[in-house]
Structure 1
């Protein structure tokens, strides 16, 4: 008898489209009066104005609409999908240079004999990768490098897995500008990626400190008494397996240093570009700079109609990562043909994410066309009428935890849920950025241990650690992090 397999995210999302289309024949279509939000310039529903459409205006969705939904969804989200593809190309070019691998190897070599300091340093570095660009699959390359180093220093393979998986995972949990979580969710919620960045930074710092202490405590216990290791029975076997392996020692050349500099600068510019300096903080330095440059004879026309930092969105961010890719290729002397193929291969790696975005958006297309979105919002508005804003925030976090297990793709989950959850936040008098933070925090917590994560399962396979052992190791941490995040979200909602 064949074991039942979970359908892929693509199939699951398309099945949801079919179910939603069927529901449009049952759930009556409705409509809200809308107004334009002054900050986001997005149309938002006005509480208390819902009215059910007449029978003549009901639009149940048929087979034609179902088949067309992913296509129309892709058209609706084309700016986000293109951004994801260009990000993939950018990361492909950066990884091709070996700059990130060489940088980590350099840190490991420098701290030889003081390996305990690898824990906070490397976890912070991986967290930076997670919070800026959603570092996940890229971490797989580091396990063969780090595991032998830590085993030789008297630790175990589980310590190495904790450093990498939990470090990058905490970065994703506290995503500040991660384009695959915060960026996509902000786009569908109609707010700037800079909204709520301070809150996300607090969550990142607090949870990272707690997790580093957790890993260092376990590592010290193993170092002092190897029998306390959760994989003590595999000690000799792991030493024989990992300590005979050779890992590539990449040289940290001047070019690789320059590549890392451009890599870091790109994300700094991205942050500066999306924070609404003028609109929210009345800081007009970037507007003034663009105006001054535009008045310079010839130079102003040569530069063209630049958009000041703080007013950037997906179009400008896509351009930023494309230009940075070209600069990195030039620095590394990659060559036109090599650069093009590397960029395309990197984009191809994230093609699945782009397609998921289109299919997920198709769900919203069907709901909107069938008038269901307004009706669901009306039901939500009724349920929220006596619910405080803090309770709504905490329930949003708890709601996203099982949903993150079912839809492990952060981009798919954002596009699936944010068009509904963001307007519900308006009715609960909660900022949309709070809901985005609740979504990405819950997703980050679950992805630290979910067996549906290819990254976690791949890491455990490399480290030869049973999943049940890893779960035993991290479940208390996950509960602790969940409580911490809920407390911070509650406080942020009140303030």
Structure 2
């Protein structure tokens, strides 16, 4: 009898909890330190280069570890509420049968041409990645598109790849992302137009690579479902996302359901318009609303009520349906809070600035090529520890940009290195809540996603590093 058990990858919750424990341990052994900061508010604080100094250590104990996810929930409450409201919104729409009817009509129309779903939908998310670094906003689309791709003969990994690689590969080389490029350029003291040629070249290559990678895998699964990395979950996924096909009847796409789908699509269009900073892009015809998660949560709540009225649900029925839908995404909210808890422990233990100072010391005195390479490498672990693009730019750019001058490297190369490294990590790092939440929604084991994406990540790393070094020579100061 074979007693050897196959290793089973722990859940996302366990992985994130382990990382919190690891970071807490580091607060006992890594020297505590801080920079002096300028700025009057938490979001505007900038470290002053050369002011790093040691401070009294604050090692994180059992109580701090337990409270870290709780504080993480508090810090990320706007995102968490958005996710929960999205769950209620989707539950309300799904109960009307409009999504099922729309999916049935779409799959029937594209019968034999399903492969065109992939580049068309990926292009939509690519636009979001290019303009405003679409990331958390994609969470609303996973529950919608996963059933579409499964019904079309693909698997859940294909659906995750279409959304995540569609937005993620574009975000790596985003041209105007206000939460990455704009903030980084502001702190580096340069315009967003500097280095745009490098970002365009990187964008074209990486978006093309992402589409090719996704379509190649999807075609393989379509031809032979047993080749799917999650074939062992095939029946479970079909039952969960599509229901029992023997008992399930595709509802008719009635006028009422068409109206609900129209409101459904209009809601997402308004979301995109509300987020994009048109003024930063030089567009004056469309007003910049400056919406964020509070406004977006309100938008989806209002749409939920409107759709429920159209479906002629009573007040009691609507509340019940909305709560059931919100409950479906509660696990996603837990993951976001846990991921945020990692940063909470680092900051409370005063080791975030120590890691930044280590990078500052290592990069000083390097030649142009060495500085370019090591800057990119430096931003990889920093992006793991600080997955927030705006947070990472705010903390590091006031230090990294002046160092580039001493090494004869254009400051925009530092910005592209930072953005690219942060974008690559967002494709797979367990500290990045969006990918972990997406996998939880899709019911895809983390190790299966890693198996799908790791070669693509390596290729992306090599291509990006090569272009950064090449650009260093082209833009050499």
Helix, strand or coil at the partner of 1:87: helix
**Structure 1 stretches lacking a partner, 5+ long:** 148-156, 177-181, 288-308, 404-411, 460-466
* 1:167 paired to 2:162: yes
SS in 1 for 2:289: coil
Q: 2: CA distance between counterparts of 1:351 and 1:457? A: 14
Q: What does residue 462 of structure 1 align with?
A: none
> What SS does the corresponding residue of 1:24 show, helix, strand or coil?
helix
CA deviation vs aligned residue, 1:92-145 (integer Å, no higher than 9, x gap):
333333434433322332344xx2x33123542366479652444554433553
Counterpart of 1:146 in structure 2 is 152
Structure 1, residues 27-81: CA drift from partner, whole Å, max 9, x if none?
222221112399x95212122211112xxx4433333333322222222222222
Aligned to 2:318: 339
Residue 75 of structure 1 corresponds to which residue in structure 2? Answer: 74
Match in the other structure for 2:20: 17
SS in 1 for 2:50: coil
The correspondence for 2:396, drawn from 424, 433, 437, is 424
1:395 pairs, out of 368, 377, 401, with: 377
Flag the 1:4–1:399 CA change in 2: closer, same or farther, 3 A: same
3-state secondary structure, aligned to 1:95: helix
Instruction: Please give the alpha-carbon distance, in whole angstroms, between the structure 2 residues aligned to 1:169 and 1:23.
Output: 31
Partner of 2:241: none
Distance 1:200 1:310 in 2: 27
Aligned counterpart, 2:409: none
Match of 1:354 in 2: 333
Among 24, 29, 46, which residue is 2:32 paired with? Answer: 29
User: Per-residue deviation at 1:283?
Assistant: 5.3
The answer as to whether partners of 1:126 and 1:171 remain within 8 angstroms in 2 is yes
Contact 1:173/1:204 (8 A) holds in 2: no
Q: Take 2:45 and 2:278, find their aligned partners in 1: how far apart are those partners?
A: 22
Once the two structures are TM-superposed, the CA of residue 310 in structure 1 deviates from its matched residue by 3.3
Partners in 2 of 1:332 and 1:284 — Cα distance? 38
Structural mapping, 1:29-108, within 5 Å: 29-36=32-39, 42-53=44-55, 57-108=56-107
Q: What whole-Å deviation, never above 9, does each CA across 1:311-367 have from its counterpart, x for those lacking one?
A: 222222222222222223233334323322232222222222322332333332232
Counterparts of 1:22-421 in structure 2, within 5 Å, are 22-36=25-39, 42-53=44-55, 57-112=56-111, 115=112, 117-125=113-121, 128=124, 133-134=138-139, 135-136=141-142, 138-142=144-148, 145-147=151-153, 164=159, 166-174=161-169, 248-278=249-279, 280-281=280-281, 309-385=288-364, 391=373, 394-395=376-377, 414=387, 419=391
Task: Name the SS of the counterpart of 1:267 in structure 2.
Answer: helix
**Cα distance between partner residues in 1 of 2:311 and 2:199:** 34
Comparing 91-100 with 425-434, which one deviates more in the overlay?
A: 425-434
Moved more, 43-52 or 267-276: 267-276
CA RMSD in angstroms, aligned pairs only: 5.3
Residue by residue over 1:430-480, the C-alpha shift from the partner in whole angstroms, topping out at 9 and shown as x without a partner, is 677974564344443789x99x95677759xxxxxxx89x97x98876765
C-alpha separation in 2, matches of 1:370 and 1:276: 35
SS in 1 for 2:38: strand
- Structure 2 vs 1, CA of residues 311 and 168 (structure 1 numbering), >3 Å: closer, same or farther? closer
Give TM-score scaled by structure 1 length: 0.64
Tell me if the contact between 1:119 and 1:215 (Cα under 8 Å) persists in the aligned partners.
no
Indicate if the aligned counterparts of 1:74 and 1:361 stay in contact, CA closer than 8 A: yes
Gaps of 5+ in 2: 127-133, 172-176, 187-191, 239-243, 402-411
8 Å contact 1:445–1:481 — kept in the other structure?
Answer: no
Could you say if the C-alpha distance between residues 252 and 441 of structure 1 is closer, same or farther in structure 2, counting changes exceeding 3 Å? farther
Cα shift readout 1:196-233 (whole Å, capped 9, x = no counterpart): 9x99999887656556566778999999xx89x979xx
Instruction: Note closer, same or farther for the CA distance 1:85–1:372 as it changes in structure 2 (3 Å cut).
Output: same
